[in-house]
Structure 1
Amino acid sequence: MQTIALSTLRAYWRRYVAVALAITVGVAFLAATLMVQSITRASLGASLGESYRGSALVLERDAAAYQDGSAADMSEPPILNDSHLQFLEGTSLISAAQPVGLTGTTLLVERSGENGDAKPVAESAMLTIAPTAAGIGALSVLEGKAPVGASQAAIPRSQAERLELGVGDTINVGAQAVTISGLSADSNNPTNTFGVQVWADLPLVRSIMKNDLRYDAIALKLAPGVSIAQAESELSQAATSQGLTDLTFKTPDEVVNDQVASFTGESDVLTTVLLIFAGVALFVMTLVVSNTFAVIVAQRTRELGLLRTLGADQRQIRRMVRVEAVLLGIVASVLGVVLGVAVMAGLVAWAKTLPGAIFTTFSLTPTALLVPLVVGTLLTLIAASAPARRATQVTPLEALRPQDVATTDQDFGHASTLGMSKGLFIWWLLVFLAGTGALVTFSVFSPNLIIAFFAGVVSLTGVVVLAPTYIPRTVAALGKLTGTRTAPAKLAALNAVRQPLRTSATGTALVIGVSLVTMFLTGGTVAKATLDGAVATQYPVDFTVSSGGSFDSQATSTPLTAADADRLKTISGIEAAALMQPVGVTDESGEVLAASAADLRAVLNDPAMVPPEGSIIAGKEAIPADSVQVELTSGKTITVPVVHAGADYFQPIVTLETAQSWGAVSPATSSGASADEDAMLPTLYARGSSDLDSTTLNQIRDDISSTLGVAPMNIGGAAMMRASVGGFIDILLMIVSGLLAVSILIAVIGVSNTLSLSIIERSQENSLLRALGLTTSQLRAMISREALLVSLTAAILGTVLGVGYGLAGAQAAMGNFAPLVLDLPWITLGVVLVCAILAGLIAAIVPIRRAVQLSPVAGMREAVA
């Protein structure tokens, strides 16, 4: 039987091309998913480990000892300081000791305003200790030289270009004025991505940090001839003898592994999510493989009957089909693994060309090679099990029957005729109803995303299992609805449901793919609209610009002025701006801001937020009571009524006319004045255009920063919040849709494969139709219409299911947060629907080509043979 199986694969290899392609794509997806984990860890290791470059050992404090309470001195935090550095420098085992650590501080840059006045701009800075010895650490100077002493510093060239700085310029780091001695390459360490990285020599770090000086670790370069084991043992003993307890000496690889584990939380969420999508693709692949083998077995009825006539028993027939499946699974899985490795290697090579991602490292583990190979082969064998059992039911008498084994009549009124008993049908119908009921309950009435997710899985399982009972009926109804007046249309409608189990298996694969894509698109879009509505409610101002931005008590802040509001209005995308001046303070919420009623109506998104005359408006959480005492800037304290806004934490505002009637005095400010730390500083409110996207918003933020001379961190508001949340959701939807598109691709392969095998199966019938006068154009139209009926049915059912599941998921996720905003992505859903239909038509190209190229005489001869 093994010989016959090999001969069959060689002789009829065209039958297996499409199914092999489906297996290859599914296995490639799984292999790529498993490689993501190893590549992520290798890349993190390459980036996190740059601080220990050139070192042999790394000294750390034993944080675990403090966590479990076994530290010798629980009064100290698990940090290192100069006492540890002095200990290391005093031993002959070490040739260099490099402190490692990051410290947050302030970076002040002087910029000239429009009138030539100097405006200090505050940026957050990450102070990084520059290497003190050659060949150790991650500093790479591109221009100038490394910093030396307490008066020099180096910054990355990219940050210098953004801040318009160069070698020789002066900046303020914390309270220390320093000169830029050099421009460095960007850091690969992800912990350095916040703020501006400032390389500082140890004396400058000590000058800025003073009593707060601390190191995360100390990288050690060993003296010549000293081994790692010797250094670790002797240094541990020496440290203990000098009272330096709870120290650990690790190799750089060990430290990086610990950091990677901490960075990923001992788990790989990304890989888990990708495995879910890979599971969907493999499930669809299994449906396609099972359907294809079922058709192949049906086509080989005469062959199998003849084998039974020649003495083959049921066990041998079953083994022959399984051998074919195993061989096909092995070959296609190997190709899939190779494809997955090639794709990931290409992506890593491309990532290395991107700024800030040069540390991306390709890594291949045995798991990523063996698991997809085994899974692909096993799933192919499992998918072929049912067709293999059907093959054993072929009796010797089947060899004497006509070649056309397609069922011409089906009673769609009974579930048992569709491969399912009435009892099983009722059971799965109850499962579907129970899952759907639970999904509605925990989405609408008692929102709970986790329970709703599992309820949705149960409901979708019912949809898949019950597919044979509704997909053929839907295809038949759609065939009648779209018209059967012409011969090709009538034949297509009949052919589409001649094998209902085959039709349902093919349609189910496409239904799953389309429904999942539309589900995520619908759920994501509705969730984004809901979040936008919630953000608009909680943040009724598009843009807020605050004065100053100091992290350091010795740094100064420059108050914003009415002239800044005028400059803000000139920025493209800003429709209105107003200077909000502090006119008083409350014990509950701090400053009370004021602007004219006209300005407030112009800048607030909701006109109802403009406070009534004689009252202030504030969020319920900011001021819970209906009245509040306000200490005005004039020194007088009054009690005023409070109107609660829809935004819970909205800062109290009042019209300038009301504040002036109370006797409040707006603080006089000028563009050159500075305010101390406790001063009440004005704020700018602005309203943006309604059609701003995330790219435009980022540009507006940069324009505000450069025009007003304020740090980007001082710019906030609803627009920036929406851009942040919306941009994340858009990227997530794009990635998810791309991943799920793999399952649709496999499903389309299944449609093409099923049609191709159906054409082979109906060679005699099609040839007879050609002999009776059916033209090639009519034959093309018949096959295209047949593919269209299946793909259109699957696309419509998938879209309806996806929209329903997506709305339920969005309600379950957002129900406890904000009222659901039903903003369906109609255009995107329409595009998905059209693409699914077109994909079905494209899948018919190969079957059509085979059918029209076969002459009537050759077709009759092939069928008889």
Structure 2
Amino acid sequence: MFRTALRNVLAHKARLMMTVIAVLLGVSFVSGTLVFTDTVGDAYTNSSAQSFANTSVAVRAENATAVGDSDPGEAPEELTYLDQSLLDQLGELPGAASVTGSLSGFTAIAEKDGDLVGDGWTTRGGNYSGTRDSRYPLVEGRAPAAPNEIALDSETVDRTGYALGDTIRLSVDGPVLKQKLVGVFTTDDGQVAAGGSLALFDTPTAQKLFAEPGKYNEIILKAAPGTSEEKLKQQVEELLPKGTEAQTGTYLADEQADNIAEATKTLSTVLLAFAAVALFVGIFVIANTFSMLVAQRTRELALLRAVGATRRQVTRSVLAESFVVGSVAASAGFGLGILIAMGMRSLMGSNVPEGPLVVAPRTVLAAVLVGVLVTMLAAWLPARRASKIPPVAAMSSVDQAPTTRGLLVRNAIGAALTTLGVALVLLGAADASAPWVGVGAVVTLTGFIVLTPLLSRPAMALAEPVLRLFGVSGKLARQNTVRNPRRTAATAAALMIGLTLITTLTVVASSLQDSIDKMAADSIKADYTISMANFAPLSGDVAEMLADTPGVTEVSPMRLADTEVQGHHETITGVNPRTVSSLLNLEFTSGSLDRIDDGGLIVDDDTAEDRGWQVGDTVPLTYRSDQATERLTVRGIYRGSEMMDGIMLPTATLDPHLRDIRDPRIMVNTEAGVSQESRDLIEKALGDNPAVKVQTDAEVTDDINKMISMTLSIMYGLLGMAVVIAVLGVVNTLAMSVFERSREIGMLRAVGLDRRRVRQMVRLESVAISLFGAALGIGLGVFLAWGAGELITDKMASYGMVMPWTTLGIFTVLAATIGVLAALWPARRASRLNVLAAIKSD
């Protein structure tokens, strides 16, 4: 039987080709993902290990966070710095060969044309310690020794074209600094290796920029010969003040490696999820192929039964065929996956540290198992059907229509699953329960897949008036689509799955973008919002500088600080009470800004309701920065939004409690309003700083919408593999259907149906199936987008479902186009059949 199976595979190579390609693409997605993430993770881990090579023990504050590392909407962390006296004490330890004070923070560098180097997220600054810092070997020039001097990493110098002696414009917290490039160094810093930049200042300058005079972010110790890291750590811990901690270099390298592994695991999980979708779609292609092959070989399989083959042997024969197909596809997919990983690594270029391609044994095993198991799983039902063919069927027709009982059972299961899934989505939407909506979405999609044969007949009946316009070709196309509803359903379901996910993402993204636009329009009245490129906070001097600029009429910082309010952590916002009403759209439900200067605050309505506050209530605030407690009176309650909420109080009240005044955003109005003149005025006042963004409310929302659009584009690309496999399924079904109907097509040609109409018949059949799948996918996608939207509404009150009719129309046109393109080869083949040979075919 195995030899029989092998001969069948070799005899049907052309018919199995699309199945091989479908499995190959899915396996390549899986293996490419695993190889790429393993390679990137290994490269970052090795780079990270190198960066800790000269660190035996590192001392840092327990809340250590570099300036500029706080998340958007969060108050910048009030840091505990390490002072010079601790550095001196650690330097006297018997186990320490060297001790270095380290500083770091956000540093934006301008290219020669004025643009920002990199994306702003990995542009860092630090200190060069002394005249020779072993962390940063100099390859050109000398160490920075004056406030106006810097050294740059060699990779940034190569990218920007700067040379020794050039003046470089940079920014740390708003104001532009002009520094002379005096040195070029190499570094093992993983962020630099991944496309970031590192600028080094002399220690006093770095302390002024990133900490305080005489203070450090971190102290790094190198163990003396004969002293272990653990022993040195024990010596260090005896001297540490409260609020600081010591860790060995090995621990820090392992911690960094774990973080990298977690990040690559997350990336791998996301990519593998899309690979699973592609393979799931591939299952329909494989199952359809083997179902048609079994149907076309009814007589052959019946004869095997007649000469003594058992049901189990017939089943094993079909599964053996699928094993061979899966093995070939898995092997080819694994090879293609390695090429894909190499291509992705090449596209990342300098954004990923150098390193070898990593092909782990688990990747090989995953590729083989996925390819073989998916193929055999998809072929199992056709194999069972093949085993049930009675010997007497050897004398019957080639094609056996599905039994009425089988369709009734399938329809009952499909209806039950769909009803359950819809109920779960509705329940989850009502209770804002993401798990219920997620489970309901999966169950509903499964129910639709099972129900597709039942839905195909009424759908094709609706298409009949349009198909009639094409005469006999249209009539024949409709009859072909309903002749075997299971086949039509499996072909349409593959396309439906991809379009369901794409439609859901599109509707949710469009609704989010519309909601964000409305939020900005309703919340922001200012002409411009000023912020740093990576959400690093601006220096408090920037707001004062803008207020003194001629042509600027109103300025208010949005100054954040952490507090404790009645046992709850609360991020509060300091504003200018005299100008904030002209810059923000504050709609008060009770009270006002009056007397806020006199120990008052205002709060959004949701917070006030949660805490039970009313105008006139006194609220105790404990500032985390200095632990001082102050009692303030609620002067007003305003309508909050996702862009504007929480407690607001005057900067005059807040500033005395802040050690370091920094502003995530500054709101500005000008005499000229929104115009190029006013933009130029502000940018000039800021020194044409490449790291500072001057944006209108529309540009603020555009930034957010671009991120949503970018994410959506990535999702489209990842789901594109599933759509490609679905298209292969349409091609495969049509091609095998043409082969199956060779005699019928020959008879049609013999009675006068010309080649053009034969091609038209196959094309119309393909378009009808594709549009059927698209209609189901778009309809189901809209329903699931509604369910997801109800979850978002619970967190984002301004969210409202928006139907992107133009995009959905494009999806429909693309589905029809897919149908036309998928039919090109099968239609051409059908039209070129030899009439006499086709009539004689069995």
Fold-level match, TM-score > 0.5?
yes
Instruction: Give me the identity figure in percent.
Output: 26
Q: d(CA) in 2 for partners of 1:99 and 1:853? A: 81
Q: d(CA) in 2 for partners of 1:232 and 1:640? A: 54
1:60–1:80 Cα contact (<8 Å) kept: no
By how many angstroms is 1:240 displaced? 8.9
Q: d(CA) in 2 for partners of 1:800 and 1:216? A: 60
Q: Which residue of 1 aligns with 2:382?
A: 387
Q: d(CA) in 2 for partners of 1:688 and 1:165? A: 42
1:616–1:640 Cα contact (<8 Å) kept: no
Which amino acid is the alignment partner of residue 341 of structure 1?
A: I
Q: d(CA) in 1 for partners of 2:134 and 2:416? A: 67
Q: Which residue of 1 aligns with 2:128?
A: 130
By how many angstroms is 1:28 displaced? 1.1
SS in 1 for 2:259: helix
- After superposition, the C-alpha distances for 1:59-85 in whole angstroms (9 at most, x for unaligned) are 245999x9xxxxxxxxx9998988678
Q: d(CA) in 2 for partners of 1:166 and 1:127? A: 19
Q: Would you say 1:742 and 2:721 are equivalent positions?
A: yes
Q: Which residue of 1 aligns with 2:837?
A: 858
Q: d(CA) in 1 for partners of 2:671 and 2:434? A: 35
SS in 2 for 1:821: coil
Deviates most, 460-469 or 509-518:
460-469
Q: d(CA) in 1 for partners of 2:443 and 2:375? A: 25
1:441 corresponds, among 419, 427, 430, to 427
By how many angstroms is 1:165 displaced? 11
Q: d(CA) in 1 for partners of 2:744 and 2:99? A: 82
Q: 1:195–1:718: structure 2 CA closer, same or farther, 3 Å change rule? A: farther
For structure 2, the 5+ residue unaligned runs are: 65-78, 111-120, 558-571, 619-632, 651-659
Q: Which residue of 2 aligns with 1:544?
A: 529
Residues 711-750 of structure 1: pairs in structure 2 closer than 5 A: 712-713=691-692, 715=694, 718-750=697-729
Q: Would you say 1:417 and 2:415 are equivalent positions?
A: no
1:709 corresponds, among 687, 694, 717, to 687
Q: Which residue of 2 aligns with 1:517?
A: 502
Q: Which residue of 2 aligns with 1:376?
A: 371
Which amino acid is the alignment partner of residue 270 of structure 1?
A: L
Which amino acid is the alignment partner of residue 806 of structure 1?
A: A
2:457–2:482 Cα contact (<8 Å) kept: yes
2:471 corresponds, among 481, 486, 511, to 486
Residues 315-330 of structure 1: pairs in structure 2 closer than 5 A: 315-330=312-327
- Asked which structure has the greater CA Rg, the reply is 1
2:526–2:668 Cα contact (<8 Å) kept: no
Which amino acid is the alignment partner of residue 621 of structure 1?
A: D
Residues 553-568 of structure 1: pairs in structure 2 closer than 5 A: 558-561=545-548, 563-565=550-552
Q: Which residue of 1 aligns with 2:201?
A: 200
1:615–1:640 Cα contact (<8 Å) kept: no
Q: Which residue of 1 aligns with 2:418?
A: 432
SS in 2 for 1:822: coil
Q: Would you say 1:333 and 2:312 are equivalent positions?
A: no
2:195–2:352 Cα contact (<8 Å) kept: no
1:530–1:818 Cα contact (<8 Å) kept: no
Q: Which residue of 1 aligns with 2:31?
A: 31
1:151–1:178 Cα contact (<8 Å) kept: yes
1:419–1:468 Cα contact (<8 Å) kept: no
Which amino acid is the alignment partner of residue 34 of structure 1?
A: L
By how many angstroms is 1:30 displaced? 1.5
Which amino acid is the alignment partner of residue 759 of structure 2?
A: R
SS in 2 for 1:491: helix
Q: 1:561–1:552: structure 2 CA closer, same or farther, 3 Å change rule? A: closer
By how many angstroms is 1:518 displaced? 0.8
Q: 1:271–1:399: structure 2 CA closer, same or farther, 3 Å change rule? A: same
1:351 corresponds, among 324, 344, 348, to 348
Which amino acid is the alignment partner of residue 428 of structure 2?
A: F
Residues 630-641 of structure 1: pairs in structure 2 closer than 5 A: none
Q: 1:640–1:728: structure 2 CA closer, same or farther, 3 Å change rule? A: closer
- After superposition, the C-alpha distances for 1:522-577 in whole angstroms (9 at most, x for unaligned) are 11111222233233333343523499x99779999524356344xxxxxxxxxxxx
Q: d(CA) in 2 for partners of 1:181 and 1:266? A: 37
Deviates most, 147-156 or 750-759:
147-156
Q: d(CA) in 1 for partners of 2:44 and 2:488? A: 47
Q: Which residue of 2 aligns with 1:289?
A: 286
SS in 1 for 2:301: helix
1:159–1:196 Cα contact (<8 Å) kept: no
- After superposition, the C-alpha distances for 1:407-458 in whole angstroms (9 at most, x for unaligned) are 4xx8xxxxx7273445x64454233223212312332x33233332222222
Q: d(CA) in 2 for partners of 1:553 and 1:194? A: 30
1:619–1:644 Cα contact (<8 Å) kept: yes
- After superposition, the C-alpha distances for 1:617-669 in whole angstroms (9 at most, x for unaligned) are 9975399877999xxxxxxxxx9997956665499999xxxxxxxxxxxxxxx
Q: Which residue of 1 aligns with 2:56?
A: 58
SS in 1 for 2:550: helix
Compute the TM-score of the two structures, normalised by the length of structure 1. 0.74
Q: d(CA) in 2 for partners of 1:431 and 1:274? A: 28
Q: 1:172–1:784: structure 2 CA closer, same or farther, 3 Å change rule? A: closer
Q: d(CA) in 2 for partners of 1:300 and 1:434? A: 38
Q: Would you say 1:817 and 2:796 are equivalent positions?
A: yes
2:141–2:164 Cα contact (<8 Å) kept: no
Q: Which residue of 2 aligns with 1:780?
A: 759
Which amino acid is the alignment partner of residue 517 of structure 1?
A: I
Residues 755-794 of structure 1: pairs in structure 2 closer than 5 A: 755-794=734-773
2:603–2:634 Cα contact (<8 Å) kept: no
Q: Which residue of 1 aligns with 2:810?
A: 831
SS in 2 for 1:387: helix
Which amino acid is the alignment partner of residue 604 of structure 2?
A: E
Which amino acid is the alignment partner of residue 199 of structure 1?
A: L
Q: d(CA) in 2 for partners of 1:282 and 1:843? A: 20
Q: 1:290–1:255: structure 2 CA closer, same or farther, 3 Å change rule? A: same
Q: Would you say 1:311 and 2:308 are equivalent positions?
A: yes
Q: d(CA) in 1 for partners of 2:108 and 2:465? A: 73
- After superposition, the C-alpha distances for 1:732-790 in whole angstroms (9 at most, x for unaligned) are 11111111121111111111111111111111111111122111101101111111110
By how many angstroms is 1:613 displaced? 13
For structure 1, the 5+ residue unaligned runs are: 67-75, 110-122, 411-415, 566-577, 630-638, 655-675
Q: Which residue of 2 aligns with 1:528?
A: 513
Q: 1:81–1:807: structure 2 CA closer, same or farther, 3 Å change rule? A: farther
Q: Would you say 1:496 and 2:475 are equivalent positions?
A: no
- After superposition, the C-alpha distances for 1:556-605 in whole angstroms (9 at most, x for unaligned) are 9524356344xxxxxxxxxxxx54589xxxx996522349x9xx6xx88x
Q: d(CA) in 2 for partners of 1:124 and 1:342? A: 29
SS in 2 for 1:199: strand
1:685 corresponds, among 642, 662, 669, to 669
Residues 621-632 of structure 1: pairs in structure 2 closer than 5 A: 621=604
1:154–1:198 Cα contact (<8 Å) kept: yes
- CA RMSD for the aligned pairs? 5.2
Which amino acid is the alignment partner of residue 709 of structure 1?
A: G
Q: d(CA) in 1 for partners of 2:249 and 2:662? A: 47
Which amino acid is the alignment partner of residue 725 of structure 1?
A: I
SS in 1 for 2:126: strand
